[in-house]
């Protein structure tokens, strides 16, 4: 059933007002919250150990006679980039530094969101911006000292560079983005689908050089560091997230094996979906697909819901171009799952319900894209 243009614009304005209210309330809650940047504090402590030539894994630290709670889950190649995001000995300065980078990344993301909606109508532009701003994971990024916003913008930059033909720049940005593999690793499928092997080679060089530098600095071989990062029977933390890994682990599959199984399935699904949606490449659709599959199939917590921002924007664009009560309902349902406080997702049932909404949203976007009904976006 088609939705009238006047009705749609009224809904867009109501949605914008509601999102701005939600964002304001979240900002007030953030200002009144307790100690901030718990996750950044962990990285700060790990980096200060590494500065003293001690790799921050528990076994290696104990072998060196150092008693410390540090036991990083990040791979060795991540640390040069983590250091750039927390380079100071004073933790307060690192909090400020992280806040500046994250605010800059948020500004870039909001500018991109405006660019998705504004060519269609000003109310659409404001709705895309406000809907992006109100995503709960934005505020979790600042509260916890996470890197979600920075990584999302790096993924955006790598994808846009890829489709503009800048292979070296795209590969460099992708290689940097891989400092948190659970957010970026599946992007490899996009490069393979487009046969951009030179870009993949640049990314591999960035990762290898970073890992070798950390190994040389800390006095350990790369093989030893990888073995202690991904030990057999390890990675138990992956069972505590909110993704398919959590559900598969709950069925009795060891967390490490569950992570590998879900990652391989996710890669296959993403590569297949990219082949199915053929024709002129649409960076927003590619990012929407990649973010959805990554969020579902790899270890994540609710603060990683930022990966679904591009799906939200792709659905907004579809809703504006092809207005109907169906697209309206799915768009509002997806936005609601991303705007809800993460503490409400406390059971497997709630997790499955949210996954169902995300799946319906991505299927709707894919089906309409295959019919050629999506709006063309210049990138």
pLDDT at 375: 45
Max Cα separation, the chain? 70
Provide the b/e sequence for 188-198 (b: ≥16 CB within 10 Å): bbbbebbebee
**Integer Cα distance of 7 and 186 in angstroms:** 39
pLDDT at 257: 85
Could you tell me if 366 and 273 are in contact, meaning their C-beta atoms sit under 8 angstroms apart? yes
**Integer Cα distance of 186 and 271 in angstroms:** 9
Q: Which two tokens stand for residue 8?
A: 């749609």
pLDDT at 344: 65
Which pTM value belongs to this model? 0.92
Tell me which DSSP letter residue 238 carries.
Answer: G
Long-range contact list for 104-113, CB < 8 A, 24+ apart? 105/149, 105/150, 105/152, 105/153, 106/133, 106/138, 106/149, 108/153, 108/156, 109/149, 109/152, 109/153, 109/156, 109/309, 112/156, 112/313, 113/309, 113/313
**Integer Cα distance of 255 and 246 in angstroms:** 8
Quick one: 319 exposed, middle or buried, by C-beta within 10 A (0-12, 13-18, 19+)? buried
pLDDT per residue as tens digits for the range 329-375:
999 999 999 988 766 666 677 788 899 999 999 999 988 777 765 44
pLDDT at 256: 82
Q: Which two tokens stand for residue 63?
A: 């072998």
Give the count of beta carbons closer than 10 Å to the beta carbon of residue 280: 7
Closest C-alpha to 228, from 75, 78, 82: 75
Three-point CA angle 38, 39, 43, nearest 5°: 120
**Integer Cα distance of 171 and 200 in angstroms:** 6
Count of residues for the chain? 379
Could you tell me if 292 and 308 are in contact, meaning their C-beta atoms sit under 8 angstroms apart? yes
Give the count of beta carbons closer than 10 Å to the beta carbon of residue 310: 28
Contacts of residue 40, Cβ cutoff 8 Å, sequence gap at least 6: 86, 91, 94, 95, 98, 144, 145, 146
Quick one: 152 exposed, middle or buried, by C-beta within 10 A (0-12, 13-18, 19+)? buried
Contacts of residue 99, Cβ cutoff 8 Å, sequence gap at least 6: 142
Long-range contact list for 164-168, CB < 8 A, 24+ apart? 164/379, 167/196, 167/198, 167/199, 167/202, 168/198, 168/199, 168/202
Could you tell me if 140 and 128 are in contact, meaning their C-beta atoms sit under 8 angstroms apart? no
Q: Which two tokens stand for residue 286?
A: 């590619």
Could you tell me if 139 and 340 are in contact, meaning their C-beta atoms sit under 8 angstroms apart? no
**Integer Cα distance of 316 and 100 in angstroms:** 29
**Integer Cα distance of 199 and 165 in angstroms:** 10
Instruction: Using 70 as the pLDDT threshold, list the residues of the chain that sit under it.
Output: 1-4, 232-235, 278-280, 342-347, 372-379
């Amino acid at each position: 059933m088609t939705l009238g243009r006047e009705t749609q614009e009224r809904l867009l304005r109501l949605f914008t007002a509601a999102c701005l209210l939600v964002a304001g309330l979240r900002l007030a809650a953030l200002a009144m919250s307790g100690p901030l940047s718990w996750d950044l504090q962990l990285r700060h402590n790990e980096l200060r150990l590494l500065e003293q030539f001690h790799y921050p894994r528990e076994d290696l630290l104990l072998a060196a006679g150092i008693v410390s709670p540090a036991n990083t889950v990040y791979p060795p190649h991540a640390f040069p980039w983590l250091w750039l995001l927390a380079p100071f000995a004073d933790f307060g300065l690192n909090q400020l530094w992280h806040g500046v980078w994250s605010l800059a990344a948020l500004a870039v993301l909001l500018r991109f969101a405006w660019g998705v909606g504004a060519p269609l109508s000003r109310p659409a532009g404001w709705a895309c911006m406000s809907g992006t701003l109100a995503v709960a994971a934005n505020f979790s990024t600042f509260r916890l000292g996470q890197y979600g916003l920075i990584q999302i913008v790096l993924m955006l930059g790598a994808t846009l560079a890829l489709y503009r033909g800048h292979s070296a720049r795209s590969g460099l940005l992708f290689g940097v983005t891989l400092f948190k593999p659970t957010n970026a690793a599946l992007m490899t499928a996009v490069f393979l689908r487009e046969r951009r092997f030179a870009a993949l080679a640049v990314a591999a060089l960035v990762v290898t050089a970073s890992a070798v530098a950390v190994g040389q600095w800390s006095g350990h071989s790369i093989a030893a560091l990888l073995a202690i990062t991904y030990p057999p029977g390890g990675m138990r933390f992956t069972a505590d997230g909110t993704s398919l890994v959590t559900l598969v682990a709950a069925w009795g599959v060891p967390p490490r094996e569950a992570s590998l199984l879900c990652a391989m399935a996710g890669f296959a699904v993403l590569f297949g979906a990219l082949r199915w949606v053929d024709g002129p490449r649409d960076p927003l659709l590619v990012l929407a697909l990649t973010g959805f599959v990554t969020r579902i199939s790899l270890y994540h917590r609710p603060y990683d819901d930022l990966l679904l921002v591009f799906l939200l924007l792709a659905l907004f664009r579809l809703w504006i171009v092809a207005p109907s009560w169906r697209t309206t309902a799915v768009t509002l349902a997806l936005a609601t799952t991303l705007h809800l406080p993460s503490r409400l997702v406390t059971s497997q049932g709630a997790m499955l319900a949210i996954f169902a909404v995300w799946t319906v949203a991505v299927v709707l976007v894919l089906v309409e894209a295959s019919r050629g009904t999506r709006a063309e976006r210049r990138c």
